[in-house]
Chain A
């Protein structure tokens, strides 16, 4: 057994861990990243499961990767190429459909076809969301202050926030309040009458939660779709060339350029604690590494309940982490296809195949999918967000063939009776059968199928309960409560131990924001 020394150790080579490592290395620190798997990226990976077919196994779109990270780490130079998704297509059971395009006029024309009033409302809604995104942005970009602390710094943080919100106009303040407290269904009902539009918009509010669109608390996430525009990241929803793993690879390349060392197949078994302080890590291989700074990019349960012995942490904190809600609610199906799906609602091959395809025909549909899940069943008619990466980046599949990425909800982690192989495949069948309702040629076009239940995601990616956001994005688990009150500033009760995963503010999606803010905290507030 040998002990190696460096300045900082990052546990987990997911995109947030890599972002933290890159910033620390950029600041001159000697950093080592330990990744348990053979590939980098955590849930942001591309893997060639079947020869010639590359899957963005879990995360499949680059949702709002922070522009400052792209800028500061110079990611395009390290190979990042984001290909825009041009449309969202919602096929309907009656063979009609709804498309939202990247072009405003084109979208308006399509919405007008469904409801002239909604076409007007859509623009008004977009403007309000833009204003609110401007209002909320400073919160996303700040290290959350501690509401229980009396330190001048924390008080100042809240004072600033208070001042900020008082600066909003009445209408905006009230709209923000509604957004924070309403269900996405109720909120969208106030604006629109087209079911397919409302349901497809609400879908973003339920992703990664175990809530239906009619449950309060789901409206807030709608706002995130408008965040990109204020940063000059128009058309923020995109697909990374080479799959989502390419995002991780580009961050890793930036980190390496700044001198970081990145080890794969190097799982950390525990954080070494001496005299109430994290001093290093022990690997599964038995090797030990020492560093004054240890950063975990794993989810809060793993960070605090698996890597650290409970006696090193205060009881209150352990209680808070234990009750941190991290139920998994989604699964993933990746298909290799011999031909493209042919949608009865819009037959033929067209640009729609290059955008997102959303199976979300109505609130009732989504809500019924949720009803299954809340009693511990997977949805027999699930919500699906589908993209065909090979139509955006042909190198994802052999010539003439395609890959299809299907994000599926709901698949509860605590399935009644537990998940097993048979249930996973039954779940896969439900997904294919549902899609076949809209594209009857799909089942016959399938060459290979990979089904990931939350159980599989936990086993292969190390995400507790298979929760893709390292913890549900509910109001009580956001900002200064993520993951626990008093410990939302990326520090932990253990000196020298930091957290940088998606289970910290602001969390969720391939944004890199948590990793960047964690690095900022470790570096004393400056990157």
Chain B
């Protein structure tokens, strides 16, 4: 019996120095997984610009430049494949007890079909991950997260009557984001989401595919996330694209999303903060107070993981704050002007750590930044030491001008650079979130 070559037939050229050619097991398609929408996204991704996202192939941009995709999010609608999110279904009489022990927000107060955005912490009160938690029924929840959390969930569930199921592969998800999102859904889903409140869930059908729709997203704009079983994924995609055509829907990749989320001041795990269980050293860990999530910490809730440490931290006050920085246009013009250039602006969001100074002293570092095409501002999200983090404080951020490091004047602002009313409001209804 002689071995068969599996996969794509390989060609073994003559000559001893060449190895047999194997099927592409090391290619991205073999190493990574593809989402249930891949047949559509692959056909549309003319840039061939893919990246990793939680072990999946994800489009960075569909076109060679993400510009049009970004503008769709702000001006019409972008359709983003967010299937790689981790999703867990938590069910049982102790489901609420488990989640209330796990996350910082008060799950007991979460109504059925309400969605909570929340971080969760380790025992030292340092953030491990953040995501959304949706109550599907009295004792059924769905948790979405950026990182795998199964082991942590199971560890916290010791002794509790609860079933935890990783449903990541059982749910495909699309984000439909932008001012025209509601109109598209009205057409596609027959109006079930017309009155859907901010951070609420409803159920319905799109193109015959049963779906759950949540009024959530990562753009800071009017938007929805639509969840369906993988076998309905292509139907859902096609129906949304068809309904969206008149509303100028554009498939959008992660580069466009990144600019939108920086404008919205939304923090990104592994970029703006290090999840505590991945931090090699203590200094890399952050509490919710230090990364703008203090509002989610309900210290009056008994016995959640990290509570003692967070009580102590609140009592002494956090050492860091996560804020927005607006880099002064005048400063940019003058720094670049000195070398005979107009300001050179980053067309993509950047994700390196950039020092922030008060005078000559470094008082923080920016972790994400971009040129906001909408606001016409150079903006960044930054960790600032508390005496220097008050809104309105004048600091400076390092920029590299023609190979030389310079400091550009910047002002501390609230991180939501762009926060339109349409994000939360419903026409003709009071905001009920």
Contact = CB atoms under 8 A, between A and B. Distances in A.
User: Do A and B have CB atoms closer than 8 angstroms in the complex?
Assistant: yes
Interface of A: 86, 101, 103, 105-106, 108-109, 116-117, 119-121, 123-124, 127, 130-131, 134, 169, 339-342, 347-351, 354, 391, 394-395, 398-399, 440-441
B4 A103 contact: no
Contact of B26 (A86, A134, A440): A86
A2 B160 CA distance: 84
A117 B280 contact: no
A347 B18 contact: no
B66 to A, nearest CB: 24
B16 to A, nearest CB: 5
Nearest to A191: B151
A190 B22 CA distance: 38
B278 interface: yes
A351 B150 CA distance: 31
A424 to B, nearest CB: 29
Contacts of B4: 342, 347-349
Given A116-B166, A117-B151, A350 B1 contact: no
Contact of B31 (A101, A134, A354, A399): A101
B23 interface: yes
B6 A350 contact: yes
6 contacts: A106-B30, A108-B55, A123-B148, A169-B282, A348-B3, A350-B6
Nearest to B277: A124
Given A121-B151, A342-B4, A349-B3, 5 more contacts: A105-B31, A120-B151, A120-B152, A340-B3, A391-B19
A127 B280 contact: yes
B17 A127 contact: no
Nearest to A339: B2
B32 A105 contact: yes
Contacts of A440: 1
Interface string B24-43: 01100011110000000000
B154 interface: yes
B25 A347 contact: no
Contacts of B151: 117, 120-121, 124
A388 to B, nearest CB: 11
B52 interface: yes
Contacts of A342: 1-4
B16 A399 contact: yes
A131 B280 CA distance: 6
B52 A105 contact: yes
B150 A116 contact: yes
A123 B149 CA distance: 11
Q: Which among A103, A109, A121 has the highest number of chain B CB atoms within 10 Å?
A: A103
A296 B1 CA distance: 51
Contacts of A103: 26, 31
B1 A109 contact: no
B5 interface: yes
Contact of B3 (A105, A116, A394, A441): A441
Nearest to A346: B6
Nearest to A439: B3
Given A127-B280, A350-B22, A441 B1 contact: yes
A86 B25 CA distance: 11
Nearest to B152: A120
Nearest to A121: B151
B260 to A, nearest CB: 26
Contacts of A399: 15-16
Given A342-B1, A395-B17, A348 B31 contact: no
Contacts of B17: 394-395
B19 A394 contact: yes
A519 B5 CA distance: 50
A440 B3 CA distance: 11
B31 A106 contact: yes
A446 to B, nearest CB: 14
B7 interface: yes
A351 B10 CA distance: 12
A391 B18 CA distance: 10
A134 B280 CA distance: 10
A210 B389 CA distance: 60
Query: Top 8 nearest A-B pairs by Cβ distance?
Result: A120-B151, A348-B6, A105-B55, A342-B3, A106-B31, A348-B4, A349-B3, A351-B25
A170 to B, nearest CB: 11
A101 B32 CA distance: 12
B282 A348 contact: no
B20 interface: yes
Contacts of B280: 127, 130-131, 134
Interface string B167-192: 00000000000000000000000000
B150 A347 contact: no
B6 A347 contact: yes
Contacts of B148: 119-120, 123
Contact of B7 (A109, A131, A350): A350
Q: Which among A101, A116, A341, A391 has the highest number of chain B CB atoms within 10 Å?
A: A116
Given A105-B31, A105-B55, A351 B26 contact: yes
Q: Which among B3, B18, B26, B152 has the highest number of chain A CB atoms within 10 Å?
A: B3
Contacts of B282: 169
A108 B25 CA distance: 15
Contacts of B150: 116-117, 119-120
B254 to A, nearest CB: 16
